[in-house]
Structure 1
Amino acid sequence: MKTLIFTLFLIFALNTKIPSATAEFVTDTDDRLLINGGTYYILPSFRGMGGGLGLTTTGTETCPLTVAQDPNEASHGLPVRIASPYLINNIYEGLILDLSFTATPSCVPEPSRWTIAKEMPRGWSVKVAGYEGAMNGWFTIQRYRDDYKLMFCPRDSPSCSNLGIYMGEDGNRRLVVNEGNPMAVMFKKVDTSAI
């Protein structure tokens, strides 16, 4: 039994990406360390660039399955649980993460984990789990100038891709794989007593 557990540990360790020893902790808007499994609003770092991240409908969706930026600058968007499968207290840059909304419309599948799926005409968009054609992988947070950026790391690729905003003809500000222009973000701790 011990041999089986050790073998599974080795397989997991050799097939996952962990941050380097120089990775720094990620902090929120109050300069506190992000808590593994904590709930935060993901907001743009620059004013005048819209509000926080939430859900919208695109294409033929009858339920909001697409992660998008609220056009209202005063909106915090929806609360996002930021969690790593590693048994650690705080979030580091480059750490493997699951992102999921904690408050969603009843039509959204549970859990509402984020994923990447092909969406025409733009390409790869961030969707909630349950969307057909989803790509396997995980999310991560990296330093970007004086702030942070979100990235998606496909399971079968050695590199990760930036996430940025794409303004569609429908007016939706979708979160998409966008190498050239990542969205600079910050994390505001959700006051759970207010929910």
Structure 2
Amino acid sequence: MFTLFLLCALTSAIADAVTDRDGDALRNGGTYHILPLFGVKDGGIELATTGNESCPLSVVQSPSGATFRGLPIRISSPYRVAYISEGLILSLAFASAPSCAPSPPKWTVVKGLPEGEAVKLPGYRSTVSGWFKIEKSSFEYLYKVVFCARGSDTCGDVGVSVDGGGVSRLVVTDDEGIFVEFMKGNSVDA
């Protein structure tokens, strides 16, 4: 009976696993490119200097074109699981960051900015306590990243806010966010 329970639990976890563009389940602690599908001219996720920052602390969608995959991002959960499943509490962090940036280069959400609640690296006082999750989108094989503030019953989608300079900043929005797919960080093909 116990073996049957374990088999059912494992089958359920694999069924809800988040998959990359190759159809492989995302590994807990694995490194991936997050590729937004927000128009043909935009690329992957990277860091940029915005506003009064003297170091690139803003998480943005690259303007370099759809062929640029962005920077590799480590996707990990504090739970002892092998694979990332939908709705699992996550930490997102760049695999590497400029020497001026805080270490580890984990994503945080900062409130009170002109663009709203922005996704940034640590270094701001007005951060929102919470976590990220990956959820299935309404489109097959596509996902969305959401942020859930601690103590809140709802989560906001991660979307894009284009500033006056044309920089596509990642923000938490009440509207529908961006749809993304994942590509292994060691992949050589775009």
TM bucket by the smaller chain?
0.7 to 0.9
**TM-superposed deviation, 1:45:** 3.0
- The one-letter amino acid paired with 2:96 is A
SS in structure 2 of the partner of residue 51 of structure 1? coil
Q: Return the alpha-carbon distance in structure 2 between the equivalents of residues 121 and 39 of structure 1.
A: 31
CA displacement 1:87-113 (0-9 Å, x = unmatched)? 000000000000000121111100011
Matched with 1:131 is 124
Paired positions, count: 173
Q: Return the alpha-carbon distance in structure 2 between the equivalents of residues 119 and 184 of structure 1.
A: 25
Residue of 157, 161, 169 corresponding to 1:174 = 169
- Decide whether aligned partners of structure 1 residues 174 and 83 sit closer, same or farther in structure 2, where only a CA change above 3 A counts: same
After superposition, the CA RMSD in angstroms is 1.7
- The one-letter amino acid paired with 1:90 is Y
Q: Return the alpha-carbon distance in structure 1 between the equivalents of residues 163 and 50 of structure 2.
A: 9
Residue of 8, 11, 26 corresponding to 2:18 = 26
Q: Return the alpha-carbon distance in structure 1 between the equivalents of residues 121 and 93 of structure 2.
A: 8
Unaligned runs of 5+ in 1: 1-20
Q: Return the alpha-carbon distance in structure 2 between the equivalents of residues 31 and 176 of structure 1.
A: 28
Residue of 82, 93, 104 corresponding to 2:75 = 82
Task: Indicate yes or no: 2:108 matched with 1:103.
Answer: no
SS in structure 1 of the partner of residue 107 of structure 2? strand
- On the 8 A contact 2:38/2:178 being kept in 1, the answer is no
Matched with 1:156 is 151
Percent identity over the alignment is: 45
Residue of 164, 168, 185 corresponding to 2:180 = 185
Matched with 2:5 is none
Q: Return the alpha-carbon distance in structure 2 between the equivalents of residues 51 and 120 of structure 1.
A: 24
Q: Return the alpha-carbon distance in structure 1 between the equivalents of residues 186 and 97 of structure 2.
A: 17
- Decide whether aligned partners of structure 1 residues 179 and 49 sit closer, same or farther in structure 2, where only a CA change above 3 A counts: farther
- On the 8 A contact 2:92/2:106 being kept in 1, the answer is yes
- Decide whether aligned partners of structure 1 residues 192 and 31 sit closer, same or farther in structure 2, where only a CA change above 3 A counts: closer
Q: Return the alpha-carbon distance in structure 1 between the equivalents of residues 99 and 112 of structure 2.
A: 23
User: 1:43-122 counterparts in 2 under 5 A?
Assistant: 43-45=35-37, 48-72=40-64, 73-122=66-115
- The one-letter amino acid paired with 2:51 is G
